[in-house]
Structure 1
């Protein structure tokens, strides 16, 4: 019998983790819900990991709460909530995890350092909510804004020329219109209605108020701290040091907090026996960000889906007999149509050899939904943004801008429409006909694959497609997904698919694998808008880059609801 020397570091770390937790004896799990909360932390340099403050991993919060449920030493959790990058679907998923933690008889507390709609929505999952005496409760209702660029593009004589298939496929609208189309407004209003209803119900249930009263309070907001306390929207006005004193009085012992991410890593590695047991292996694959065509930039921090990397990952897992089931976690607005199709094909081959369960995050629309169609089952939260089964194609015509600044192009070509993708010619005549033919073909294939995946008649799927974006709640009603639920539920279903009960252990391998490097990647970046608009800025920059590609599967508009 051979002994694998490579297991020695894991044994030492396991012993250290067990002794560290035994010595520290933490009794309060601290959730830091702030800043950029990425789905999967990969590609961190050592400097970013140990010197700077890297983005927090959202899944670490979920898994830490799951570990804490079973740890008798953990008496409570404290969620410190500030402005963060979570969307409404992941906020719902975090609320579900806190509810599960409380179901075991443990207490959960929220300390609001930012008091907007989404932050308060998360806090309502806790037993008690604390607000600093100087912070008003900004529960002012939901707002979604769309910026239209046509006016400034006209002044620069830049002419976006886009064609689309699907009545609601309006991704190019901010560039070719100066106002919202009726279809765009219809989709956005339906989404806002669903999310607002989720917010109202969550507050009403957790604070023991009627839904009508909650709506009245939202219309009165912002509420000064004393008003929020009087209306029973919060439980106490406390500073941070007073929070610790109060927790001590509740749990009956001195507070010893431990960061959720740190606790999860220690808890996962302290089980020495698991190193020698034959535990079924499963894979968790993260597909997050815009789906791009391949380039040389594999910076994981940008949360982009690189097809070559994803294809290699899917192929490796398919050919690995030790991995018995797979969960594919998707948080993507789509992107390149060709890349989406290539990844879908490899994911479909994988699903034919072992169970593949899809879990949707905040967004899995257009190309993101295209990837999800390969799954055996698709799960989403009620507030997940999904669907958008439609196609977009076109280019940016810069001829006017070139002339405006004194530049000129001259062309020599062979082939009547060799300049089809040139930024110096109009998309008209035979060029427009050819592009229309191409996107119509891809749209038909998209709808056919969706109909087959969801076991629907083609005509029925055609009515539900049209590039329309749906919430997870509506998608479930329409049959576009199978169940409502988050990552934990998807993992439990994958376990059941290989004969395990949800409470039984399985070794979860995370992909893509983290890249180990000393220094981070430094790239020149133009100044962006403040953090509150950074996601929108990045989306616009990605759209500019994607516009150079032939066909796009991207959701019809950026949805940012706060």
Structure 2
């Protein structure tokens, strides 16, 4: 009741505000061109004013805010031409792809897209491919690298150092441990990765060549100049930035979309909106601190994540949850804990998932608990299976004149030692553990995705990695995060929603080493190869992990 009293009391002010918005829109009605400089990077955590000043760089917007601005441009009725400046951009492949698709949607609405760049890379050209007209500076350079892999194998080095690595994998395609045990990929793993890379290359080349309009060989060259791109027909013109954005051209700014949105959303009697909480989960999956609630950017720590999921479940203002996953996997046990909490959350409110760049192994495991999965077409997924890595450092210790003696050892105790060789019974135990963990993974995916177990194992399991497909039920649809939001709105047509992007708070400790302490562990991390430290850390731990990291650009673009 009190709410309606204040609405009536302030209604004259609201009315004046509405006429003010209308007047601003009216005065700009003849402007049909909009100038837009894209952000060079996206914010991935909440940062205070002090932190931004400490970092010394201009703050940017989140990817979600940027996509919402692009989508809202289609609502500006007088907009005829969108002219975009593309600076050097530190974006991921899926981010470029997502923005490219939004530009194509604007074109389909009748808006002409003109793009301009002074330098860039593969992602820049992907955005330009969605334009009606493409321009570049006379001296522009584009450094290109199509998706490819050049994996390092430390099997020979570790053997030379006296490190024996034992691996127990659930399938021939689960190649995570091969980095430490071999000098090259196994036949099965190599074929799987080759197929994945070729599929990804073909998708990107189809976009760049507009399905054959330009020669794909053009984009094999590592450096492309403006002249070479114009000669190939990809660029329409070579000109300066001043020529692209003439001073006499009266143009709209991207802020005009906010004005139009305010006018559309204005209600004299406003209604409360339901909240869609988008939770980005990015990085490897680990435990985190049980008592800690603070999430750290670039990590999926189970206990802080579970704490937040519980808060979202209990928050009556949150009606729908979207999990934005970008993870190669990690700890098997902690993937199960997160999966379990997502299942509990789903009992209370709808849970949707969006796959960004990678959602493999443990990343796919936790996603299988959700109702629906939408994926970027260029996301790497799969790697359904488990692997366990154990390092035996006895020969390395002997070379360093370090001796160990076992006291009070009991059956299977040597599994927890990096010095004592495994007995036959212990090897059998670890193999059974991998089989148990693999079976649990298959069961969760089969139940969540409604895929028969036998089909899952023979066609999509065994550690295989691939691009997402809807026909095999690995995902439900292909698209971007805005497509997920549109699906939610379609499912609840009578409801009005507001969106909260649950980014982690920026953590100074990740930037300043002495805030973490600087002891022996930190010194080892500084001077020893990270692969050897990784072996020691991951020893005896079952993992849902995919080691596939595909290079697609050799510089920030």
TM-score by length of 2: 0.82
1:551 is matched with 542
1:236 is matched with 237
Mapped contact 2:292–2:303 kept (Cα < 8 A)? no
Q: Which runs of 5+ in 2 are unaligned?
A: 8-12, 515-527
Mapped contact 1:333–1:554 kept (Cα < 8 A)? yes
> Quick check: 483-492 or 290-299, which moved more?
290-299
1:431 corresponds, among 391, 406, 426, to 426
> Quick check: 413-422 or 325-334, which moved more?
413-422
Find the aligned partners of 1:438 and 1:102 in 2 and give their Cα distance: 54
Mapped contact 1:151–1:178 kept (Cα < 8 A)? yes
Find the aligned partners of 2:268 and 2:157 in 1 and give their Cα distance: 61
- Residues 482 and 409 of structure 1, relative CA distance in 2, 3 Å threshold: same
Q: Which runs of 5+ in 1 are unaligned?
A: 526-536
1:15-61: CA deviation from partner (whole Å, max 9, x where unpaired): 8xx98x959979635343535x46xx324243333443457632232
1:481 corresponds, among 470, 475, 481, to 475
SS of corresponding position for 1:305: strand
> Quick check: 452-461 or 217-226, which moved more?
217-226
Alignment of 1:77-116 (within 5 A): 77-87=83-93, 89-116=94-121
1:48 is matched with 51
1:377-397: CA deviation from partner (whole Å, max 9, x where unpaired): 111122211111010112233
1:210 corresponds, among 197, 209, 212, to 212
Alignment of 1:413-428 (within 5 A): 413-428=408-423
1:164-216: CA deviation from partner (whole Å, max 9, x where unpaired): 102200011111111122122212211122122212221232xxx736x5224
**1:289 Cα offset (Å):** 1.2
Find the aligned partners of 1:288 and 1:266 in 2 and give their Cα distance: 33
Find the aligned partners of 1:546 and 1:265 in 2 and give their Cα distance: 49
2:396 corresponds, among 385, 393, 401, to 401
2:150 is matched with 145
> Quick check: 272-281 or 196-205, which moved more?
272-281
- Residues 549 and 430 of structure 1, relative CA distance in 2, 3 Å threshold: closer
**1:340 Cα offset (Å):** 0.8
- Residues 420 and 28 of structure 1, relative CA distance in 2, 3 Å threshold: same
Find the aligned partners of 1:62 and 1:516 in 2 and give their Cα distance: 22
1:307 is matched with 302
Mapped contact 1:290–1:542 kept (Cα < 8 A)? no
1:511 corresponds, among 485, 502, 508, to 502
1:251-281: CA deviation from partner (whole Å, max 9, x where unpaired): xx334655xxx88889888967599422222
Alignment of 1:463-502 (within 5 A): 463=458, 464-472=460-468, 475-500=469-494
SS of corresponding position for 1:286: strand
**1:539 Cα offset (Å):** 9.6
**1:404 Cα offset (Å):** 2.6
Find the aligned partners of 2:154 and 2:61 in 1 and give their Cα distance: 33
1:63 corresponds, among 60, 68, 71, to 68
Alignment of 1:265-414 (within 5 A): 276-295=270-289, 302-414=297-409
Find the aligned partners of 1:290 and 1:268 in 2 and give their Cα distance: 38
- Residues 397 and 55 of structure 1, relative CA distance in 2, 3 Å threshold: farther
SS of corresponding position for 1:325: strand
SS of corresponding position for 2:67: helix
- Residues 294 and 138 of structure 1, relative CA distance in 2, 3 Å threshold: closer
Tell me, yes or no, if structure 1 residue 166 matches structure 2 residue 171. yes
- Residues 446 and 539 of structure 1, relative CA distance in 2, 3 Å threshold: farther
Find the aligned partners of 2:475 and 2:293 in 1 and give their Cα distance: 31
2:435 corresponds, among 423, 426, 440, to 440
Mapped contact 1:355–1:497 kept (Cα < 8 A)? no
CA RMSD of aligned residues (A): 3.8
2:206 corresponds, among 179, 201, 206, to 201
- Residues 306 and 138 of structure 1, relative CA distance in 2, 3 Å threshold: closer
1:291-336: CA deviation from partner (whole Å, max 9, x where unpaired): 1111388875641111112112222222233322222111111111
> Quick check: 274-283 or 356-365, which moved more?
274-283
1:473-496: CA deviation from partner (whole Å, max 9, x where unpaired): xx3232211111111111111223
Report how many aligned residue pairs link the two structures.
524
TM-score by length of 1: 0.82
**1:460 Cα offset (Å):** 0.8
- Residues 101 and 351 of structure 1, relative CA distance in 2, 3 Å threshold: same
Mapped contact 1:109–1:128 kept (Cα < 8 A)? yes
